[in-house]
Structures are given as structure tokens and as C-alpha cells.
Amino acid sequence: MTATTSEPLLTFEDAIATFDPVMGFEVHVELNTLTKMFCGCPTEFGAPPNTQVCPVCLGLPGALPVVNEKAVESAIRIGLALGCSIAEWSRFARKNYFYPDMPKDFQTSQYDEPIAVNGALAIVVPTEDGPRPVTVGIERAHMEEDTGKILHVGGATGRIHGADYSLIDYNRAGVPLIEIVTKPIEVEPALAPAVARAYVTELRELIVALGVSDAHMHQGSMRVDANVSLKPRGRVELGTRTETKNVNSIRSVERAVRFEIQRQAAVLQAGETIIQETRHFHESDGSTTSGRIKEEAEDYRYFPEPDLTPIVPESAWIERLRATLPEPPLKRRARIREEWGISEHEMQSLINAGALELVQQTVALGADSADARKWWTGEIARISNERGLDVAALPITPQDVHRIIMLTIEGSLNDKLARQVIEGVLAGEGNPDEVVVSRDLAVVSDDGALLEAIDTALAQQPDVAEKIRGGKVQAAGAIVGAVMQSTGGMADAARVRELILERVGDSLG
Amino acid sequence: MPALDRDDVAHLARLSRLQLSDAELDHFGEQLDVILSAVARVAEVAADDVPPTTHAVPVVNVTRPDVIVACLPREDVLAGAPAAEDDRFRVPRILDEEEQ
């Protein structure tokens, strides 16, 4: 079975000409606590299967869970940063369902008494007419636990459909999660996909600034479920919604919302009805396909978790945590714009490229902000677009980019060679210094060799040499070009220019 | 407290993936009714001034520090599994669950 949907689509323009989209997002953030939500097992990503499990997270009879205090602190800090009220009394609940990703046969979550309610996140949405401020209402943020990882075996594609059986690793079962749920988002229809992207971008930045999660979407430590429904223009009541899961990059959030708007519009236009269901997003073509029909809320038979005590945070504790909140991302960006001397537009393109943090980290290592921006939003962003990946998902670090910048400043790399070094780092050939050595990329820094090439070029183009002697310094460009060509691009153009002028000057003197 | 009808019991059975005959549905329905009416009697004596509770003792904020403790050795973990493969728990195909 292929991922491609054969369902008809309306064009986005036609869809929003008739329908108003309403969106809602459920974002799961895996906390970076050392241990799980209810037991002391480590949470390290990528450990060998079933090595980070114990009687509690395996749901063995008689095992008793105890809440991780650090996870509660992180939940409260997220709630406060989102402007939520922190509940004076909060409880855990069992969400009962029959699926082997939780060995207990239920997930410990929060239901009617979440830790944080009723907040808002201010975002800035890039539009053709410039940045537009939008406020996204936050319904709630609650604590829960992650599930195990299921591997489907057999069948053609390793997907659930056609699988013969499944294998389960429970290392992730019980890792603390915070689920952040928005209120329904209704914006100017044409902006909906961009708002989706801006919300997830902003939320992710906030989570990273709080230091509560690494929020790597490609590793699943931040996961987005996008709810989309349509209603005919002018109607008040909401249409039936679908919930698209498996949206694992910021770019995909925008694509998934756009696709669902186009698909649902075609269904409604044809006089049919939307089925309330879970849909799966496919990175390959940006489509969604039907998953399971959504169970009604009461089918989960939530009830208060008898093995855990209520969480009743003292106000002094909440205030202590409030004092640890970072500068809000919007404010922080205004400050950074000031420091780097860049426009809101340049800031937006940094954010859109998903490169703000990476540039900041590169600057923190000592690089100039203009140099850092140039590489992250230039060559590296270009490659990430080509590969359909977020910049952060590429195997190149701020340390690598800082080193490449330093090598260009020292003059051992020029821009062309630096691009090849980036290519080498991305191809897994090692760090920048290793790539320089293995690909033999250092510029010709031996002045003797350069002078030889310059003399040859001057001899071949006597008219140009004459012009330079006559004071037309810009004519040196032709000689620089010739030298770059004869050295196979392995020369520092600025140094070549200096040497040409010295050479011509010498001959004058 | 309204009695459970057979559809309610069938629904609960389906959620638990239990296949029950009509006779069993009636049988368990009667048993569940006994339990529900016992709980209903407790609800009768609980006046408005008695707050609902989920714990026998009034304890809140029982937490533990974020400190790693030893996990189970993997051979012990998988020893309890009905089937295992590649260091993972092996379960029957779940295709039908997804597609229903």
C-alpha cells in the first residue's frame, strides 16, 4: 500500500473561498527529566530495547507509581509561561484503552483536573503584508506519560497494515509528557497554514527556552496532532473535525493543515460528510490518509488514579517557579534583533528556516552574527530545503559552523571551499577539520605559488595589467578570476587581490 | 441507579476485547448490577456535606526526586512475556484493531 491518497482535493484558493477552517493543536512534549514520570527508570533516548524498564512502567501486579517532582515543576513552568492558571488541586486519571503500547492497559494522564488551564500564546505570523500578531488561546496543559514503541513486522512496508505481528520496546513507556491543547483557532482563512506553523514554531521556542525538553520534532520529543474542521462561510457551529497525527516537523504542520483543508473542502463540496477520524500524515507527498475512527471520549472510561495522590501546589512554590521563567520568546527576539542589527523580516526568515537557535548557539561560540546567519540561512538552509528536512535535523552542529567560519576568517577556506566542507560534514565525513584534510580543501596559502599564478595571469592579459598600473584597481578582478581558475578555486580571493596590487605596485616602483 | 442493559454490557465487553455469548452478557449484567446497587447505597448515605474522595487517607503531593534507580535486567523483563523476539515483546498482529 502506498502513502499516496487518491482522494480528490480542491485547490487551497477554492477551499478558502467557500469554507472557514477552524484548527486546534495537541502538542506532546517529552520532558528531559532524568527519570520517568512514575518510576526511577532512565529516559535516555536510543538505549537498547527494554533496558530502561521496571515493575512500575511494565505494569506488573502490585507495583506502585510515585510522581516525579521535577516533572511536576516542568509542567507548572510550562503552564506559567503560557499564561495559564495553575490548578490549586490537580489529579491524575486512568485513560483506559486496549492497545499493547502500554503494558498496564491504561495510560496515566489527567482528565477533568489538569495542572494548568486557560492561557494564551502570542505569535507573529509572516504574511505578504508583513508580520501579523495573532493570539492563540491555550485550553490546558496536563501531565501524562509516553507509550512504548511498536515495530510492525511483516507486510510489504513495515507499516501496521499488512503486518504479521508486532514487537514492543517499553523504554519509552512512562517517559513524562506534557500535552498542550489549544482552544479552537479561527483566523483569516488564507493564513491558517501559516498560523499553524507559527504556533508550533513559537511553542517549540518557548519549550526550548524553558529548558524542559530538547523538543526535537524529528526524534519525537515534540509531537503535533493537528485538528482541522471546516464550516461553510457564515456558519457558527463547528464542522466535524479530523485529527492528523504523526506530524513530525514544523514544515509538515503547515502542509498537513493545508492538505486537510483542501481534502475536506472537496468532500463537503461534493455534498458528502466528514468522518471524525484519526488521519496519518505522510512526509513523502504531504498527504493524509484515514486511520482509525476516533473513539468517543467516554469510551476511555477515565477515572481518578487511586495509586497517586492529588497535586496541590503551594503558592510559594508556584511563585518560586515563576521566578525561573525565561524571557518570553517575542521579547527575546526583539532584543536579539537589536543586538544583531537585523530587521523583523530577516528575523522572520531565520525563524522560518528554523535556524534562530542554531545561529544563536553559533554566535555564543564566538562567531559574528552576520557570518552565522549567512551560512545557516544560505547554504545549509538550501540543502535542508532540497532534502525536505528541518535545518535542525541535518547532521551539522553550531560547533561545525563556527569552525568553518573561523577557517574562512583565518583565510584557510574561501566561500566555495567552505560549501564543500559543509557538504562533507553533512555526508558524515567528520568534523570540518577532518573534511578539510580528507578532501584536501585548504586554500593555497603559499604566497610563492600564488605569485607564480598571478605572474602567469598578468603575462597572459597584458592589457589588464596595463589598466591596473594606470590606477584602475577594479580591473584586478579579471586577474583574481584567472588565478582562482588556475588554482581550482583553492585560493583566498582577498589575499590574491592584495598580492596582485603589491605585484603591480612593485613593478611600478 | 438505572440497571445496565445488555447493550451496555456488550459495549463494555467490546472495549475490553472480550467475546461473550448472550447468556454470558445476561449473567455478567446481573453481577454488575449487584455491584452498582451496592455503590448506589453508599451514595445514598453520602450527604452534601461529605466531599467525594478517592483516597482513604487525606494525603497530597507525594512525590519522589528525579533520581535514577536500577531497572530490571532484560532477561527478567522478557521472562514474563508470552513471546519475545529481538529483545522485544512480541504480540499478535493489531491490524484488525486499527481498521475497525
A122-141 pLDDT, tens digit per residue, is: 998 988 888 899 999 999 99
Burial A318-351 (b: 16+ CB within 10 A, else e): beebeeeeeebbeebbeebeeebebeeeebbbbb
Write the ipTM.
Answer: 0.86
Phi-psi region of B87 (alpha: psi -120 to 50; beta: other; left: phi over 0): left
Task: Establish if B99 belongs to a structural domain.
Answer: no
Structural domain including B37 reads: 6-45
Which of residues A53 and A334 earns the better pLDDT score?
Answer: A53
Assess contact for A461 and A478: CB atoms under 8 A. yes
Task: Establish if B59 belongs to a structural domain.
Answer: no
- The per-residue pLDDT for range A373-423, each reduced to its tens digit, is 999 999 999 999 888 888 888 999 999 999 999 999 988 888 888 999 999
- The answer, yes or no, to whether residue A43 has pLDDT greater than 90, is yes
- The answer, yes or no, to whether residue A192 has pLDDT greater than 80, is yes
Question: Nearest CA of chain B to the CA of A32: how many Å?
Answer: 11
In chain A, residues with a C-beta closer than 8 Å to the C-beta of B92 are 165-166
Beta strands per DSSP E along A408-457: none
Q: Say if the Cβ atoms of A68 and B64 lie within 8 Å.
A: yes
* A97 Cβ contact list (under 8 Å, min separation 6): A105, A106, A107, A295, A299, A300
User: Using CB atoms, which residue from B54, B66, B91 is nearest to A34?
Assistant: B66
Q: In terms of DSSP bridges, do strands A130-145 and A149-153 run parallel, antiparallel, or are they unpaired?
A: unpaired
Q: Say if the Cβ atoms of A98 and B67 lie within 8 Å.
A: no
Assess contact for A73 and A54: CB atoms under 8 A. no
- Residue by residue, DSSP assigns A84-134 as PEEPSSB--EEEE---TTSTTSEEEE--SS-SEEEEEEEEEEEETTEEEEE
pLDDT band at B100 (very low <50, low <70, confident <90, very high): very low
Note the pLDDT of residue A492.
80
Q: Say if the Cβ atoms of A167 and B86 lie within 8 Å.
A: yes
User: How many domains in chain B?
Assistant: 1
Under DSSP, the state recorded for A42 is B
* Residue of chain A nearest B57, judged by CA positions: A309
pLDDT band at A3 (very low <50, low <70, confident <90, very high): very low
pLDDT band at B1 (very low <50, low <70, confident <90, very high): very low
Q: In terms of DSSP bridges, do strands A93-96 and A222-232 run parallel, antiparallel, or are they unpaired?
A: unpaired
- The answer, yes or no, to whether residue A63 has pLDDT greater than 60, is yes
Task: Establish if B36 belongs to a structural domain.
Answer: yes
In chain A, residues with a C-beta closer than 8 Å to the C-beta of B17 are 98
Q: Report residue B24: phi and psi, to 5°.
A: -70, -40
Structural domains of chain A in order of their starting residue, each with its CATH number: 12-300 (no CATH), 327-439 (no CATH), 447-508 (1.10.10.410)
**C-alpha cell of residue A340:** 544583531
* B42 in contact with chain A, both atoms CB, cutoff 8 A: no
**C-alpha cell of residue B71:** 531497572
**C-alpha cell of residue A79:** 503552564
Note the pLDDT of residue B50.
81
Note the pLDDT of residue A346.
87
Task: Establish if B82 belongs to a structural domain.
Answer: no
Q: Which of A41, A50, A66, A106 should one mutate to test binding to chain B, selecting the residue with the greatest count of B CBs within 10 A?
A: A50
Which of residues A437 and A142 earns the better pLDDT score?
Answer: A142
C-alpha–C-alpha distance, residues A111 and A274, integer Å:
27
pLDDT band at A65 (very low <50, low <70, confident <90, very high): very high
Task: Establish if B95 belongs to a structural domain.
Answer: no
- The answer, yes or no, to whether residue A496 has pLDDT greater than 50, is yes
Q: Is B88 in a helix, a strand, or coil?
A: strand
Note the pLDDT of residue A5.
55
Q: Say if the Cβ atoms of A54 and B71 lie within 8 Å.
A: yes
In chain A, residues with a C-beta closer than 8 Å to the C-beta of B55 are 306, 309
- The answer, yes or no, to whether residue B21 has pLDDT greater than 50, is yes
* Residue of chain B nearest A34, judged by CA positions: B66
Task: Establish if B10 belongs to a structural domain.
Answer: yes
pLDDT band at A33 (very low <50, low <70, confident <90, very high): very high
* Residue of chain A nearest B87, judged by CA positions: A49
pLDDT band at A440 (very low <50, low <70, confident <90, very high): confident
- What is the CATH classification number for the domain harbouring B20? 1.10.20
In chain A, residues with a C-beta closer than 8 Å to the C-beta of B64 are 40, 66-69
Assess contact for A207 and A215: CB atoms under 8 A. yes
Which of residues A142 and B51 earns the better pLDDT score?
Answer: A142
Task: Establish if B34 belongs to a structural domain.
Answer: yes
- The answer, yes or no, to whether residue A500 has pLDDT greater than 50, is yes
Note the pLDDT of residue A161.
63
Most confident of A193-202, A342-351, A459-468: A193-202
| Nearest C-alpha neighbor of A244 from the set A197, A279, A293 | A279
Q: Say if the Cβ atoms of B85 and A167 lie within 8 Å.
A: yes
Task: Establish if B30 belongs to a structural domain.
Answer: yes
* A359 Cβ contact list (under 8 Å, min separation 6): A350, A369, A372, A373, A376, A377
Q: Report residue A278: phi and psi, to 5°.
A: -90, 135
